[in-house]
Structures are given as structure tokens and as C-alpha cells.
Structure 1
């Protein structure tokens, strides 16, 4: 029996003396590179949607991955996005891989951009979900500063932070919450130190490299890129997705209606079709 989101074992790869947690499963005979996932602020291996990971694993291998010091990974958390990206490159090399596709959500989308720019030879295609470019202005709803850092996030926090305001959107959020808690051996929660380091990392990422031309660096991303967001992202304003698609040369943008920061979790079947088409074409 092949592994699934619920049965793939948590493995560790050692890099620079620290153990990076990952799960890897899926179709290794597809002829496509593995799809590497970078997770959101404080998120670990079990914050992904099994509908998406298993759906994507039918056509390729998938690799879920914890940053240094995140949840079950060991070591001191990184406080800069570029260091997270360089760590990921070391992990990819340690796994014996020469090419991957990359999907990054929120803070993970920031890591995915830096990973692609700093290690372009490793990346074939790029998916950027609910994220912002370096130098972008997240312009969040002030209420996120209470909900996002809460030591033990509640379902209501997730509904506010990730999903649209309608009754249907909230129900989709509850359905996602139930799916992501089905695995029995859940990854442990991330530490306060990880949260503080990621706040510092994302704050530094918001500073443009060139204030007069804040998004010119995105032209360095030559890979085909799919940008996805909800129409009303309270965490990272949706306009940031437009900035990325305007400045990444080979990018396309999909904005889902009545959706927020985690649009791919609100519309998992729709996103799965879009992601597979993008990766396969």
C-alpha cells in the first residue's frame, strides 16, 4: 500500500548538525520533479490540506518540509527569509535532488521567491499562494495581530485569518479544519522562538531592496509562475499578488471569489485542477 498524507512517515535529514523534518510520498514515476511545499507563519507538516497534497501526489512526488527550528525540526529558527531559502537548498541537495517544483503559501511564498532567485537552477515551476513580494506592503487587517500570534490557534482564528466572510466560506473553513486534524501522529506545535524569528523575518522582507523600484528584482524569476489568492486577503492584501504577476515575466494570476488568505483551502477541488494544469502543461 502506498503512502498518503495520513500515513507518510515523518523523516529527518541532517544539515549543518540540525535535523529537518519532512514527509515525502507520491508518484515517483511521473517524469515530473517533486513538488516542495513551504508553509505559512508558524505552520508545520500538518497545516497542509490532505485533499491538495494527496491530489497532487497522484501525478508527482510531494515533499512537505519544516524549516530549521520549526515544529519537529531541530536547531535555532532563522530570522531572515534568505537564510530559510538557503537552508532549503541544502536540504534539496542532501536529498539527492537536482530539480523541484515549489509551492509557497504566505510566509512560505516569500521563502519560495528567495529560494527561486538564489537557487534558480533547482526550480522548474513556482506556485505563490497568498503571499507578497519582497518590498511589498502587506497592509493587514489590524485584528490579525491578536489572532495570528495566539499561542494555541482556534478554529475561529483560522476562519478569520484564512477564509472569506460568507456562510459558505466559513463552512469550507470548518471542513478544512476537520481534514487537517485527521492524522493521528500530528506534528508538534511550533515554539515561541520560531514565531518571534518569523515575525522578524517577514518584517525585514517588507523592506524594499530599492525603494524607487521596489519590484524590479522579480524580473530575475524566469520560471513559469502561478500566483493564487482570494479577493479579500486580510493577512497580506491581495494587491500584492498583482504586483508579483506584473513583475515576474512568465506569471499568471488567479483570484478566487469570496475567499481570503487561504483561498486554496477554501476551494481545494478548484485549486487542485488549476495547479495540476499549470504543473502539467
Structure 2
């Protein structure tokens, strides 16, 4: 299996399944196992599956460590009833990490996956070495997304125009980067199935439970529980999770650093994949 992992790529790594409490969780795992780096465990955005990641990004990261893509309970090719609470999604991720025989990982969470990554790190700190939060925000953060998000994000069959609006900047260069990303993410032949309407509804409910502040007098106190080195990235104009939320996180997570990319939105790492890889690899490799 190790040789297979070493030679696979985003486009060829087989979909595998691990059973946890009667639910089959889908994952793909590949990359360089010889560098001494812990595996990088990726948590995806609202309704997204393993094929919503950018192959340029995942293969670039896999050059220096193992990468593990993962679908939560009921999401895309995973079985089971979808979760309606972020903290339960985080506990599922921890159970899968342990079921894969791992005792330490680095974690990447994008958007709703970033919500999960924060709770995974807070609730299971022994599992997480470093944390990367992309296009996301804290529990109890600013919820004021662009009104167009409510139309585009839940659309049963997302279009290229939806992705450009939701994830990318507004310039022609940003739109071209978005179209390039769209083409890359559709290169794999055996794509994950789309998430069901039940997943969409469950994740909307989970998001609603994530909005209230835990403590109205000190709303981001919970972030100070995250002691791990933390990398935070957003675009300068995130229409889904306002960029201001990234500032709240970097102010309150004790060992955090913030990157804000120009002319970019929610998916800054997809718009600037080379820049992101340079920053991410430097962060992950640093002792």
C-alpha cells in the first residue's frame, strides 16, 4: 500500500473506505511518506467532496508529505446520516484519523471545513500538530454574506458562474484563474458523486447552530484554546464568510498568522495556487 501511495496523484489515488461505527467514510491518501512530516488531513467546504479540491494544490502539498482527502458522514461517497452539528462533524473526523492508525496530523479546513477544523483542534488537541484555516471564520463570527450567496451556494447543480461569484475576485484575471481552477478540478475521470439534498439541508442547519456567540461578553474566548501554530488565509473580499472574520481569528488564536490575497475572494488558495503552495509549504515545514 505504501508504494501505491507514493506513486499516486490527485487524479489516480483510489477511493478507499474506513468503517467507523457502521458508517463507511470515503478517503483518498497519497504523497511522500519519507519526509518525516505528519499526514495533512483536509476538510472540505459546504456540500463539497474530494473532487472539489484543486489537483495543483493537493499534489503540490503531497510532494512533501502524505495528503488525505476525506468525506464526512453522508457526504458524497461516504455513507450514513449527515451530521447537523459542527462539533459532531469534528468528532467524526477525529474518529476517522484514529481509525486510519494515525496519532498526529496537520489539518486544513476550508470554509465549513474550517469550522470543523477549529472544533477538531479544540476538542482533540492531541491529534493536531498544525492548523490551516482557509476562507473560514470563528464560531459566533460575522455572518453578513453577500445576498447572492443564498441563491448560488445551495443551487442543486452548481454552475461555473456560481463558482466564479462565490470563490473568486471580480477582475478579468481573477475570473480566468477561476476558469482554470474549474478545468483542473474536473480532470479526474472517476469523480465523487454530488452530495445529496439531505447533506445540503444538514449542513445549512449546522451552520445556523454555529452562528450564535458562545459568550456575548467575550465571543472569541474559545479561540484562545487553540495553541497549535495556525495559518489563516482569505481573499480581500470574501462574499461568503466576510474577511473580517479572519482578523478576529488571528487576533485571538495565540500562535496564528494571517495572509490576505489581493483581488481574491472565498477561494484565495484556488485563485493563487502557486503563491498558496509557497506560503503553505513554508508554514508546514518550519520546525
TM-score normalised by the chain length of structure 2? 0.97
The answer to whether 1:203 aligns with 2:238 is no
For residues 167 and 99 of structure 1, the distance between their equivalents in structure 2, rounded to whole angstroms, comes to 41
Q: State the partner residue of 2:129.
A: 124
* Structure 1 unmatched ranges of 5 or more: none
The answer to whether 1:138 aligns with 2:152 is no
The answer to whether 1:279 aligns with 2:281 is no
Q: State the partner residue of 1:58.
A: 63
The answer to whether 1:104 aligns with 2:129 is no
Q: Which runs of 4+ in 1 moved over 4 A?
A: none
For residues 156 and 41 of structure 1, the distance between their equivalents in structure 2, rounded to whole angstroms, comes to 17
1:8-87 paired onto structure 2 within 5 Å: 8-87=13-92
Q: State the partner residue of 2:93.
A: 88
Q: State the partner residue of 2:233.
A: 228
Q: State the partner residue of 1:183.
A: 188
Question: Cα deviation per residue 1:124-172 (whole Å; 9 max; x = unaligned)?
Answer: 0000000000110121000010000000000000000000000000000
TM-score normalised by the chain length of structure 1? 0.99
Q: 1:153 aligns with which of 158, 162, 168?
A: 158
Shift of 1:203: 1.1
Give the alignment's Cα RMSD to 1 decimal: 0.6
Question: Cα deviation per residue 1:207-260 (whole Å; 9 max; x = unaligned)?
Answer: 111111110110000000000000000000000000000000000000000000
| SS of 2:176 mapped into structure 1 | helix
For residues 138 and 208 of structure 2, the distance between their equivalents in structure 1, rounded to whole angstroms, comes to 12
For residues 143 and 131 of structure 2, the distance between their equivalents in structure 1, rounded to whole angstroms, comes to 21
**Matched length:** 281
* Structure 2 unmatched ranges of 5 or more: none
